[in-house]
Structure 1
Amino acid sequence: MPKHEFSVDMTCEGCANAATRVLNKLGGVQFEIDLPNKKICIDSEHSMDTLLETLRKTGKTVTYIGLK
């Protein structure tokens, strides 16, 4: 599965929890949240657009970095 890396404007554990909630609702994803570096790496068959749209539901600024 491709690993997509995103920059997410997370400032606290609450932000990371919001990202975890929306990604778990999407289903079929494995992810790692790097809070200090404000990055999320997602292992998923979903398209990059779907993942980006899902992460934006947190209300945070999200930028696609690329494949890891």
Structure 2
Amino acid sequence: MPKQEFFVDMTCEGCSGAVVRVLNKLGGVQYDIDLPNKKVVIESEHSVDTLLTTLKKTGKDAQYLGTK
């Protein structure tokens, strides 16, 4: 499965917790959250658009950075 890297404007554990919640609801994803660098790497068969839309549901600024 491809690994996609995203920037998410997370400033605290609560922010990263919101990311965890929306990704778990989406299902079929494995992810690694790098809070200090505000990055989320997601391994999934979902499209980049679906993943980005899901991350934006946290209310945080989210941007696609590319394939890892």
TM-score calculated relative to the size of structure 2: 1.00
Shift of 1:6: 0.1
Match of 2:27 in 1: 27
SS where residue 5 of structure 1 aligns?
strand
1:2-47 CA distance string (max 9 Å, x none) = 0000000000000000000000000000000000000000000000
Rounded to whole Å, the distance in 2 between the matches of 1:20 and 1:12 is 13
Detail structure 1 runs of 4+ shifted over 2 Å in the superposition: none
Q: How many residues get paired?
A: 68
Unaligned 5+ runs, structure 1? none
SS where residue 40 of structure 1 aligns?
strand
SS where residue 5 of structure 2 aligns?
strand
Match of 1:4 in 2: 4
Unaligned 5+ runs, structure 2? none
1:63 aligns with 2:63: yes
SS where residue 53 of structure 1 aligns?
helix
Percent identical among aligned pairs is 72
